[in-house]
């Protein structure tokens, strides 16, 4: 099929205007919104100039790459650190059994380029953290097909950090809109999903609404198979791996079957004992078994279509876009509400306001670090901390080679390390940029 033929229907959306064209009356968050102007130049722009990044080449990523290529995006890059597992093949339809063990992003890129003539897909087989600001800055738009909160958080912080500010007529700082890279976040869980449009530092970002997401409980299968760390991992091992190994020819029993639950409980308890893990009980086993949510191909297809349509609308401006979140609930009937997330004025990632933390002067640095890790807003993983004007030097605690030299500070009360109002500069693997936290001594 030649290109003109393949994209003639897409092109109809771009060379004509209509009642749904983006006139800026709704759906636009930009003050200087330019209404849609139909033009024959838009499709060539989409084919050759617009750079789009797809983050993740798994269940959602495969769908996204296919949808975006067929919508006319001609310059696509995709980043994913995973290799193809045989269990992916039921829904990650760009992969075949001969591809097992190869890079997801590379195989997906090759498949899409073979199938949609003229599209260029550049694959990056690495972690998102391996790429720096200069890589992310070159894209017009970024679409996320991720399954982890941690990765979403990191990339959200990265795109927020790319936004520069300029002084408005009244001297107030406003984001320079040319530095704002729109980001579309898709997510699925069983028969539920969401599509969300984020204009970093302009509309609510992922971090603004982080408290909606409970700390993650999903575990990679390899952890379950090789190195269980808690009671749930042992239950999942018995339920997902050992059962099929011990009874390869019998059909899988119902999760609610009490006899089967008892069997899983006993096997999980054996495994827990072998690894010195406590906490496996029958009730806990039943709870873990009920919480397994299967990945469903049709949910991925629906959410991906929503995300790809938003990317197309934003890049071409042909239609008002989602403001700013749509849910999809397909478990019982169909329910797809949309609503607008509000920005959090003290967001760690997108606000210019500094984060303040109430600290008791007698609280040790160690206790403060633990609190930062548990804090629902900060959720640091392994913070290193400097202080401007520290009473015993600026370095309070460093991971890595300096750890031993700063370890003694952990047991000191905060009043011996900093003054009230001091700025703590926190470096943490959860986020690509430093976070400044202001200490407020409370009595
Ligand atoms: Zn935010």
Question: 70-110, pLDDT tens digit by residue?
Answer: 999 999 999 999 999 887 898 899 999 999 999 999 999 99
Taking only Cα atoms into account, the Rg of the chain, rounded to an integer number of angstroms, comes to 25
Could you tell me the distance, in angstroms and rounded to a whole number, from the CA of residue 183 to the centre of ligand 1?
13
In whole angstroms, give the CA distance from residue 99 to residue 281.
40
Q: Cα(348) to centroid of ligand 1, in Å?
A: 7
Q: What is the arithmetic mean of pLDDT over 318-344? A: 93
Residues of the chain with pLDDT > 90, as a percent, come to 67
What integer pLDDT is reported at residue 286 of this predicted model?
A: 85
What pLDDT was estimated at residue 74?
97
Please check whether residue 305 is in contact with residue 184, taking contact to mean a CB–CB distance below 8 angstroms: no
Q: What pLDDT was estimated at residue 220?
A: 61
Does 3-215+297-339 match 355-441 in CATH topology? no
Q: How far is the centre of ligand 1, averaged over its atoms, from the C-alpha of 436 (Å)?
A: 15
Q: 28 falls in which pLDDT band (50, 70, 90)?
A: low
- Between the CA of 435 and the centroid of ligand 1 the distance, in Å, is 13
Q: How far apart are CA 382 and CA 360, in angstroms?
A: 21
- Cα 157 to ligand 1 centroid, rounded to whole Å: 8
Q: Which two tokens stand for residue 97?
A: 């059994």
Give residue for tokens 């390869």.
Answer: 248
- At 249 the pLDDT is 85
**Encoded tokens for 73:** 């995006």
121 burial type by CB count under 10 A (0-12 exposed, 13-18 middle, 19+ buried)? buried
Taking all residues of the chain, what is their mean pLDDT, rounded to a whole number?
91
Judged on CB neighbours under 10 Å (0-12, 13-18, 19+), 132 is exposed
Distant-in-sequence, close-in-space partners of 401: CB < 8 Å, separation ≥ 6: none
Tell me the average pLDDT across 223-247. 86
Alpha-carbon gap, residue 125 to 192, rounded angstroms: 29
Q: Is the confidence at residue 222, as pLDDT, over 60?
A: yes
Short-list 297, 303, 318, CA closest to 72: 318
Instruction: List the beta strands (DSSP E) in 109-218.
Output: 120-124, 141-145, 165-167, 173-175, 183-189, 192-198
Hunting for tokens 């609503």 — which residue is that? 339
The stretch 135-146 carries a mean pLDDT of 97
pLDDT tens track for 392-437: 999 999 998 889 999 999 999 999 999 999 999 999 998 999 999 9
The CATH superfamily assigned to 3-215+297-339 is NAD(P)-binding Rossmann-like Domain (3.40.50.720)
> What integer pLDDT is reported at residue 25 of this predicted model?
66
More confident residue, 25 or 409: 409
Check residue 214 and give its pLDDT.
Answer: 65
| Superfamily of segment(s) 221-290 | Ubiquitin activating enzymes (Uba3). Chain: B, domain 2 (1.10.10.520)
pLDDT at 31 over 70: no
**Which of 43-47, 123-127, 362-366, 402-406 bottoms out in mean pLDDT, i.e. has the lowest?**
402-406
- Segment 366-386 shows an average pLDDT of 89
pLDDT of residue 173: 84
- Surface-to-core class of residue 235, CB atoms within 10 Å of its CB (0-12 exposed, 13-18 middle, 19+ buried): buried
Rounded distance from Cα 202 to ligand 1 centre (Å): 9
The DSSP code sequence of 14-47 is: HH---TTS--SSSS---TTPPPP---TTHHHHHH
**190 phi-psi bin (left φ>0, alpha ψ -120 to 50, beta other):** left
| Alpha carbon of 182 to ligand 1 centroid (Å) | 13
The closest of 182, 183, 164, 165 to 174, measured between CA atoms, is 165
Strands (DSSP E) contained in 190-333 are 192-198, 325-329
In which band, very low, low, confident or very high, does the pLDDT at 26 lie, cut at 50, 70 and 90?
low
Query: Whose structure tokens read 């890049």?
Result: 315
Query: 250-303, pLDDT tens digit by residue?
Result: 888 878 788 999 999 999 999 999 999 988 999 889 888 877 677 899 999 999
Pick the CATH number of 355-441 from 3.30.9.10, 2.60.450.10, 1.10.540.10, 3.10.290.20: 3.10.290.20
Q: Ligand 1 centre and the CA of 429: distance in Å?
A: 18
What are the residue boundaries of the structural domains of the chain, listed by start? 3-215+297-339, 221-290, 355-441
- pLDDT band at 34; cut points 50, 70, 90: confident
CB neighbour list of residue 356: distance below 8 Å, 6 or more residues apart: 437, 438, 440
Q: How far, in Å, is the centroid of ligand 1 from the Cα of 206?
A: 6
Query: How many angstroms is it from 377 CA to the middle of ligand 1?
Result: 11
In the block, residue with structure tokens 């759906």: 27
3-state SS of the chain: helix, strand, coil percent to 5? Answer: 40, 20, 45
Structure tokens at 21: 């064209």
Q: Which of 222, 318, 340, 347 is catalytic?
A: 222
Tell me what the mean pLDDT of segment 371-400 comes to. 90
Does residue 222 carry a catalytic annotation?
yes
Q: Which residue, 354, 347, 357, 368, is CA-closest to 440? A: 357
| pLDDT for residue 288 | 85
pLDDT of res. 29: 61
pLDDT of 218 above 60 = no
Q: What spacing in Å lies between the alpha carbon of 354 and ligand 1's midpoint?
A: 12
Ligand 1 geometric centre to CA of 198 (Å): 9
Number of C-beta neighbours around residue 175 at 10 A = 18
Q: What is the pLDDT of residue 213?
A: 72
Exposure b/e, 404-424, CB count within 10 A at least 16 = b: eebeebeeeebbebbeeebeb
Q: Does 165 score more than 80 pLDDT?
A: yes
Cα distance between residue 340 and residue 89, in whole Å: 35
61 Cα–ligand 1 center, Å: 24
Residue 195, pLDDT > 90, answer yes
Q: How far is the CA of 351 from the centre of ligand 1 (A)?
A: 6
């Amino acid at each position: 099929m030649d290109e003109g033929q393949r994209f003639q229907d897409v092109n109809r959306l771009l060379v004509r205007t209509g009642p749904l064209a983006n006139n800026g009356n709704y759906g636009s968050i930009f003050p200087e919104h330019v209404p849609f102007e139909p033009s024959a130049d838009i499709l060539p722009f989409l084919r050759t100039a617009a750079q789009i990044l797809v983050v993740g080449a798994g269940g959602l990523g495969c769908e996204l790459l296919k949808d975006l290529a067929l919508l006319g995006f001609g310059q696509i890059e995709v980043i994913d650190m995973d290799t193809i597992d045989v269990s992916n093949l039921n829904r990650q339809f760009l992969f075949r059994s001969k591809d097992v063990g190869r890079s997801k992003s590379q195989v997906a890129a090759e498949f899409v380029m073979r199938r949609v003539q003229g599209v260029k897909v550049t694959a990056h087989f690495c972690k998102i953290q391996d790429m720096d600001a200069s890589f992310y800055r070159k894209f017009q738009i970024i679409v996320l097909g991720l399954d982890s909160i941690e990765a979403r958080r990191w990339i959200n912080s990265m795109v927020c950090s790319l936004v520069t500010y300029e002084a408005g007529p009244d001297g107030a700082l406003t984001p320079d809109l040319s530095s704002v890279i729109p980001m579309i976040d898709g997510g699925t869980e069983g028969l539920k999903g969401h599509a969300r449009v984020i204009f970093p530092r302009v509309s609510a970002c992922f971090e603004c609404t982080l408290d909606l997401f409970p700390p993650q409980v999903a575990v990679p299968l390899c952890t379950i198979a090789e190195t269980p760390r808690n009671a749930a991992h042992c239950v999942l091992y018995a339920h997902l791996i050992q059962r099929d190994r011990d009874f390869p020819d019998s059909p899988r029993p119902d999760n609610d079957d009490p006899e089967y639950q008892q069997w899983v409980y006993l096997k999980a308890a054996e495994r827990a004992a072998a690894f010195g893990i406590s906490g496996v009980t029958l009730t806990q086993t039943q709870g873990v078994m009920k919480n397994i949510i299967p990945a469903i191909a049709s949910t991925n297809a629906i959410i991906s279509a929503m995300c790809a349509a938003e990317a197309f609308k934003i890049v071409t401006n042909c239609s008002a876009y989602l403001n700013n979140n749509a849910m999809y609930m397909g478990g019982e009937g169909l329910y797809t509400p949309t609503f607008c997330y509000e920005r959090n004025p003290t967001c760690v990632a997108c606000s210019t306001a500094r984060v303040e933390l109430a600290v008791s002067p007698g609280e040790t640095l160690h206790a403060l670090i633990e609190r930062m890790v548990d804090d629902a807003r900060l959720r640091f993983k392994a913070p290193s901390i400097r202080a401007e004007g520290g009473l015993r030097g600026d370095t309070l605690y460093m991971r890595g080679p300096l750890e031993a030299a700063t370890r003694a500070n952990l047991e000191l009360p905060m009043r011996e390390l900093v003054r009230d109002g001091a700025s703590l500069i926190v470096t943490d693997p959860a986020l690509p940029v430093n976070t400044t936290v202001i200490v407020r001594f409370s009595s």
